Amino acid sequence: MRGVVDGVIRPQWLRDTLHGVWVEHALHPVAVQVPIGAWISAALLDLMPRTTRAARRLVGVGAADALPTALAGCADWARLHDRQLRVGIVHAAANLVATGLCAASFVQRARGHHGSGKALS
């Protein structure tokens, strides 16, 4: 899988961007704050009356930011020591499931199915 990641993230400028070279800090740990914050905020709004639109928007923001965040994580993962790669695979798989559920939640909410949208979140 490391070869696949290196093949997709081939240009050095892209690799440097995803590693956060331009801000002198790893990008992935910073980028994860957007989906985590959006999804936690949406869950809190789900507990309050008349906040369905705001919650749906936050779920969408988190889902939209998940792809660039995952790309940054993949770039970092490809540079890990061999013993750390398995942990990264489990981390990615768990986050893929979570992102899929949140994306499905967004679709259900957009269709007006707020109950199932909340459940999927």
pLDDT tens across 57-73, in order?
Answer: 999 999 999 999 999 99
C-beta neighbour count of 96 within 10 angstroms: 12
Please give the full DSSP string across 40-58, using - where no structure is assigned: HHHHHHHTSTT-HHHHHHH
Distances (CA, A) of 83 to 26, 67, 77, 91, 121: 20, 25, 11, 14, 32
Core vs surface per residue 44-60: b (16+ CB within 10 A) or e = ebbeeeeebeebbbbbb
**Per-residue pLDDT tens digits for 71-100:** 999 999 999 998 899 999 999 999 999 999
In 3D space, the residue among 14, 28, 26 whose CA is nearest the CA of residue 72 turns out to be 28
Quote the pLDDT of residue 92.
95
Distance CA 39, CA 107 (A): 15
Q: Give me 23's structure tokens.
A: 């801000």
Given a cut of 90, whether residue 6 has pLDDT beyond it is no
3-state secondary structure of 97: helix
Q: Does the pLDDT value for residue 1 go beyond 90?
A: no
Global pTM reads 0.88
